[in-house]
Chains A and B, each alone.
Chain A
Amino acid sequence: MQANADLGDLALRCGEWMRGSGPESDIVMSSRIRLARNLAEFPFVRRASHEDRQAIERSIRARMEKIEAWSAVRYVNVAALSEVDRQLLVERQLISRELADSEGPRAVAIDPQEQFSVMINEEDHLRLQVMHSGLDLLAAWEQMDQLDDLLESIISYAFHPKYGYLTACPTNVGTGLRVSVMLHLPALVITRQIEKVFRSLQKISVAVRGLYGEGSQFMGDFYQVSNQITLGRSELELVQQVSEVVPILIDYERRARQFLVQQSQQDLHDDVSRAFGILCTAKKISSEETMHYLSKVRMGVNLGLISDLPVTTINKLFIHTQPSHLQKLRGRLLGTVDRNIERASYLQRHLGGSSPQNN
């Protein structure tokens, strides 16, 4: 493991969740598994003194440093990062907003492929995360299971024979497992069916929520489906529960896209082309607006309405136009107005060569 707080090279890459490959990746962005774990010999983070938190961070770091297979794993002291760098990790979904915004000793270990990260001193002492591009829950769980076994061999977890892994919040106790799949559902939004679909899902105890970008603004037709409960079922059963719901959503979205193509091809083509036009020609553009139009363009690319534009370019733009990435790529801090100008010029440079298909 190597301490490395220079995040410049991260910003250049696409990252796992926006890679846009893997099964069903036209609709499923990423599959994510999270485990909450705590050390047996400390109070939970919220109740831990500054000294406790420091001891937790040091003790976990020292143990992780001895993992031979982790020679390329990057260790980032989050407490020492600038706000832009903390935000950068949030935009890449390597740390939570909560970890970025909290105070005191805290850190994250990140693997070079960005498939797994381990947060230290978030709400729980340890938050393990594995993320795979596309719909790939089972493989993500297997990787997580191994990661958990590895850490458990060097760290004494707080575990109760009856209640399982003990967590600061009783909503996570037992398995400590959260299984989430992020989906891109623009056609269900356009056809106004999204609410209906989600209401039907509530009955089978999975939670659905929108993805939020900067502030609490809603972000580009992305939705996250995850398990609600963590106790009383095995990890595989919980993975299964989410796995069963996702194909239903994919099917609804595909049908809604088909419907749009058949019923209002011209309207759809017009909508997608206008979105593309704005992204290519705007002189200043906010992050929310960018998400909104990129979402339409992404669907257009997947439906063959825009040619010569690989979906990987769109995926990359989703992440590179976020505030911290933009500033990292530009190499200096920018205020909101300058960011909007920089974002527009960035989009123009990367979308310049493509054009909506004429038919």
Chain B
Amino acid sequence: MKCQHCEKPATFHITELTEPGGPHQLHLCEEHARVYLAQESSSPAASVAGVLAKQLKLGQTADELAKLDQKECPVCGITFFDFRSAGRLGCPYDYTIFEEDLVPLLVSIHDAQEHRGKRPKRHTPSADLQVELIRLRREMEEAIEQEDYERASEIRDQLRRLENEG
């Protein structure tokens, strides 16, 4: 894909989430991305993709970036590239699997990296259990699709048990 402003290949794919007209996508070469993001920093609206692009630019070589982009969440299946282009995560487990890459982003956005607000009063499922629940639910859907209703109902019982334990 070519840059929207010149003939060079577009290496930055930025999705603006805070525009009044709804999200829109930008495809830019490195040079135009830099110009765009410099502009962006003067606007109060925080753009996830923008912050991320800036931050990745600082720390990573192209090889490292390419490798990071391929990193995939075993639970929901999104890659870091998917997140980087859409600005949205796929499931709660992404905060664990992409943790080391997300923390600097959280710091840029919030100037903080730890929650200090309210906490659920009752016990919430652990990260491992959350993963297990999402995985089982997916298996159940697959079983239903294959019309293996016996297996589906087994998984459903298992899900209910786990949910009640959590």
Chain A residues within CB distance 8 Å of chain B: 38, 40-44, 46-47, 49, 51-52, 55, 97-98, 101, 123, 145, 148-149, 152-153, 156-166, 168-171, 173-175, 177, 202, 207-210, 212, 216, 228-235
Given contacts A44-B91, A164-B117, list 9 more A-B pairs with CB under 8 A: A40-B124, A40-B166, A47-B78, A163-B113, A168-B89, A174-B117, A175-B118, A229-B109, A229-B110
Q: CA of A38 to CA of B94 in the docked complex: distance in angstroms? A: 13
For B125, the chain A residues whose CB sits under 8 A away are: 40-41, 156
Known: A40-B166, A233-B112. A51 touches B118 (CB 8 A): no
Known: A52-B137, A231-B113. A123 touches B92 (CB 8 A): no
User: Can you report 17 A-B residue pairs in the complex whose CB atoms are below 8 A from each other?
Assistant: A44-B92, A46-B88, A47-B76, A47-B78, A51-B144, A156-B124, A165-B115, A166-B95, A168-B88, A169-B88, A169-B89, A170-B48, A170-B102, A171-B109, A228-B44, A228-B46, A232-B112
B115 is contacted by which of A42, A123, A231 (Cβ under 8 Å)?
Answer: A231
For A173, the chain B residues whose CB sits under 8 A away are: 95, 106, 110, 115
Q: Do the beta carbons of B122 and A174 come within 8 Å of each other? A: no
Q: Do the beta carbons of B134 and A234 come within 8 Å of each other? A: no
For B89, the chain A residues whose CB sits under 8 A away are: 44, 168-170
B141 is contacted by which of A51, A170, A202, A232 (Cβ under 8 Å)?
Answer: A51
Interchain residue pairs A-B with the least CB separation, the first 10: A232-B112, A164-B115, A41-B133, A47-B90, A158-B92, A231-B110, A175-B117, A43-B91, A229-B110, A166-B92
B17 at the A/B interface (Cβ < 8 Å)? yes
Q: Do the beta carbons of B46 and A233 come within 8 Å of each other? A: no
B148 at the A/B interface (Cβ < 8 Å)? no
B65 at the A/B interface (Cβ < 8 Å)? no
For A210, the chain B residues whose CB sits under 8 A away are: 20
Q: CA of A175 to CA of B134 in the docked complex: distance in angstroms? A: 23
For A231, the chain B residues whose CB sits under 8 A away are: 106, 109-110, 112-115
Chain B nearest CB from A97 CB (Å) reads 8
For B118, the chain A residues whose CB sits under 8 A away are: 145, 148, 175, 234-235
Q: Do the beta carbons of B102 and A40 come within 8 Å of each other? A: no
B44 is contacted by which of A44, A175, A208 (Cβ under 8 Å)?
Answer: A208
Q: Do the beta carbons of B116 and A232 come within 8 Å of each other? A: yes
Q: CA of A47 to CA of B130 in the docked complex: distance in angstroms? A: 16
